[in-house]
Amino acid sequence: MAFYCSRLLGLFLLCSSSSVVGYVRAQFLSPDFYNSSCPGLVSIVQAEMRREVAAESRMGASVLRLFYHDCFVNGCDASVLLDDTQAFAGEKNAGPNARSLRGYDVIDGIKAKVEATCAAIVSCADILALAALEGTVLLGGPSWRVQLGRRDATTASQSAANRELPSPSATLNDLISLFVSKGFSAQEMTALSGAHTLGSARCVNFRSHVYGDADVDPAFAAKRLRNCPAVTGFGDDNWEPLDAQSPAGFDTAYYQNLMLRQGLLRSDQELFNGGSQDSVVKMYSSNAAAFRNDFAAAMEKMAAMSPLTWPNGQIRLNCRRVN
Ligand code: HEM
Ligand SMILES: *[C@@H]1O[C@H](CO)[C@@H](O)[C@H](O)[C@H]1NC(C)=O
């Protein structure tokens, strides 16, 4: 049975379905949700992420992106972690995710450790929310409060993932309207894009911008294109850092790069291209505290997108499939 819920006065959920309309005592997200049922949860996630990021710093970025791609498609419900089944085509093979999203095995590893301590208690969605924070913090990023108590989806939608994740060739207007449709202001979109101070992108996603667009620094283009042949189908999956100055450090270099016409993606450079976000990019480029603050606040907001709570969803035992 499908329930549609919205927050009311922070006290109750108003829930309705085709057969039930009424007030239901809420099970709210709270940072203390597992304090008694799984007190070791946060330290398990921290230890596992520390190990993973020490082995490969980029994994902190990859897990942050995994969480964002989960939240933007039907909320933070771990739907992105579901493998395809005969019943549905999952999100993993959607255009923005296929051959691109990383970190599934890291989440599986954390989940196994958590199950060994607190069996069938902690959702994959909450593990992903905690791991994304940890990955960010380990790379020097800000911290935010992680609310817990999400439950896991029993289905995933490839078509929604194709529709609701932004394209690297998006214009500024595309980006703003997509983020506004998800409840974020243009400035919050620009702050969240600062995640591209971390991690890498593939040739197939930056080729046309770096080869073709007029607003690209030529010396930067020459470097980025050494490993990205002009011809489609050649070197498509070759990765280059989104922020070549400091790909494993959460800092303001991403914004400084944009002001130097060194945005790797068309969608990055759109934020500093004579439009409404130029002043925000300038401000973040020289005000690390403002960037960190705004990024953390926007991540806390992202983490609260359409949470799936009891009586909906389930606690998946294996993040890759429904129970
Ligand atoms: C504003 C619209 C956005 C667009 C168009 C966009 C697009 C992309 C693309 C195309 C890639 C490279 C993927 C590949 O080449 O396979 C990427 C990487 C990445 N994105 Fe975004 N992104 C956006 C916003 C965000 C947000 C809001 C976050 C997180 C808060 C984020 C975090 C990341 C990270 C961390 C990576 C690097 C991942 C890795 O190295 O594994 N992005 N993004
Ligand atoms: C829950 O645990 C966290 C972390 O150990 C702690 O900071 C917090 O005060 C605890 N909350 C309650 C209500 O006990």
| 116 and 73 fall within a common domain | yes
Given a contact cutoff of 8 angstroms between Cβ atoms, the answer to whether 141 and 69 are in contact is no
| 39 and 150 fall within a common domain | yes
Q: Is residue 180 part of a domain?
A: yes
The 10s digit of each residue's pLDDT in 118-152 is 999 999 999 999 999 999 999 999 999 999 999 99
| 8-state DSSP, 242 | S
285 to 139, 236, 258, 261, 266: CA distances (angstroms): 18, 30, 9, 13, 19
The 10s digit of each residue's pLDDT in 265-320 is 999 999 999 999 999 999 999 999 999 999 999 999 999 999 999 999 999 999 99
Catalytic residue among 69, 224, 266, 292: 69
How many domains are contained in the chain? 2
| 46 and 161 fall within a common domain | yes
Q: Give ligand 1 pocket residues (Cβ under 6 A).
A: 58, 61-62, 64-65, 68, 100, 102, 166-168, 170, 175, 189, 192-193, 195-196, 198-202, 205, 265, 267
Q: Is residue 6 part of a domain?
A: no
Quote the CA–CA distance of 64 and 95 in Å, as a whole number.
Answer: 18
The 10s digit of each residue's pLDDT in 77-113 is 999 999 999 999 999 999 999 999 999 999 999 999 9
201: part of which helix (H) or strand (E)? strand 200-202
Given a contact cutoff of 8 angstroms between Cβ atoms, the answer to whether 123 and 151 are in contact is yes
How far is ligand 1, taken at its centre, from the CA of residue 179, in Å?
Answer: 14
pLDDT greater than 50 at residue 199: yes
- Confidence band for 27, pLDDT divided at 50, 70 and 90: low
Q: Which atom of ligand 1 is nearest to the CA of 267?
A: 5
Percentage, residues of the chain above pLDDT 90? 91
| 73 and 147 fall within a common domain | yes
Measured by CA distance, the residue closest to atom 21 of ligand 1 is: 196
| 110 and 148 fall within a common domain | yes
What is the longest distance spanned by two Cα atoms in the chain? 63
Quote the CA–CA distance of 175 and 192 in Å, as a whole number.
Answer: 11
Q: Is residue 322 part of a domain?
A: no
| 196 and 82 fall within a common domain | no
- With the most atoms of ligand 1 within 8 angstroms of its CB, the residue from 193, 197, 243 to mutate is 193
Q: Which of 109, 144, 165 is the last residue of a domain?
A: 165
Work out the average pLDDT over 173-187.
Answer: 98
SS3 115: helix
| 143 and 265 fall within a common domain | no
Phi, psi of 166 (to 5 degrees): -75, 150
CA 148, distance to chain mean position in Å, is: 17
Residues 6 or more apart whose CB falls under 8 angstroms from that of 54 comprise: none
Q: What is the CATH number of the domain that holds 289?
A: 1.10.420.10
Q: Model pTM?
A: 0.93
Q: Is residue 309 part of a domain?
A: no
- With the most atoms of ligand 1 within 8 angstroms of its CB, the residue from 242, 255, 277 to mutate is 242
CA 42, distance to chain mean position in Å, is: 19
| 254 and 131 fall within a common domain | no
Work out the average pLDDT over 222-250.
Answer: 97
How far is ligand 2, taken at its centre, from the CA of residue 36, in Å?
Answer: 9
Sign of the torsion formed by the C-alpha atoms of 162, 163, 165 and 167: positive
Q: Whose atoms come closest to the Cα of 188: which ligand?
A: 1
- Confidence band for 28, pLDDT divided at 50, 70 and 90: confident
| 91 and 47 fall within a common domain | yes
Given a contact cutoff of 8 angstroms between Cβ atoms, the answer to whether 59 and 53 are in contact is yes
Long-range contacts of range 14-22, CB-CB < 8 Å, 24 or more positions apart? none
Phi, psi of 82 (to 5 degrees): -75, 130
Query: Which is more confidently placed, 4 or 110?
Result: 110
Q: Which atom of ligand 1 is nearest to the CA of 58?
A: 40
Q: Whose atoms come closest to the Cα of 34: which ligand?
A: 2
pLDDT greater than 90 at residue 158: yes
Q: What share of the chain is helix, strand, coil (3-state, %, to 5)?
A: 45, 10, 45
Quote the CA–CA distance of 133 and 142 in Å, as a whole number.
Answer: 8
Residues paired with 321 in a beta bridge: 318
Pairing type for strands 239-241 and 4-8 reads unpaired
Q: Which atom of ligand 2 is nearest to the CA of 32?
A: 1
Q: Is residue 95 part of a domain?
A: yes
Quote the CA–CA distance of 277 and 80 in Å, as a whole number.
Answer: 30
Nearest Cα residue to 148 out of 131, 165, 168: 131
Is 209 a residue of the active site?
no
Q: Is residue 16 part of a domain?
A: no
Q: What is the CATH number of the domain that holds 111?
A: 1.10.520.10
Quote the CA–CA distance of 172 and 167 in Å, as a whole number.
Answer: 11
Strands (E), 205-257: 239-241
Mean pLDDT for all residues in the chain = 92
| 204 and 265 fall within a common domain | yes
Measured by CA distance, the residue closest to atom 17 of ligand 1 is: 201
- With the most atoms of ligand 1 within 8 angstroms of its CB, the residue from 139, 196, 238, 305 to mutate is 196
Q: Is residue 9 part of a domain?
A: no
What is the span of the domain harbouring residue 100? Answer: 29-165
Given a contact cutoff of 8 angstroms between Cβ atoms, the answer to whether 165 and 94 are in contact is yes
pLDDT at 66: 98
| 71 and 149 fall within a common domain | yes
Percentage, residues of the chain above pLDDT 70? 92
